[in-house]
Structure 1
């Protein structure tokens, strides 16, 4: 995918469209008087790490609620 150049005026007037395109993976070079001054690129998320174990990655669903059947099994152990 090529990087499109847009003027600062275009970027100001079309920011919502540009952001939607960036969310979809596009990148843009913003120019001022024809000279590149900034780049608009998607953010790459950094995976969460677990404590002192730098190679252990925390899955994205780590904080999600437990499924009902697993929660029931944990609750059964309390009684």
Structure 2
């Protein structure tokens, strides 16, 4: 499975990346929305793991972009917050 992981937290991102790769998945790890956009523009993904709060924007806003612009891939939203607005 080809996965785009978008997570700015170094420790969490590293753990998720390593676990997914160990499971046999191909993983691109974007640490901000700019990197995620760059990856998504050239690579097709089977799954997108998307953090809500990123240093250069909001994951929910990016999800809206994905829905409009890209082929549909399942998206799992990640957040440490107890609510999103």
Higher RCO (CA 8 Å, separation ≥ 6 residues): 2
Same fold (TM > 0.5)? no
TM-score normalized by the length of structure 2: 0.30
The structure in which a higher percent of residues are helix is 2
Larger Rg: 1
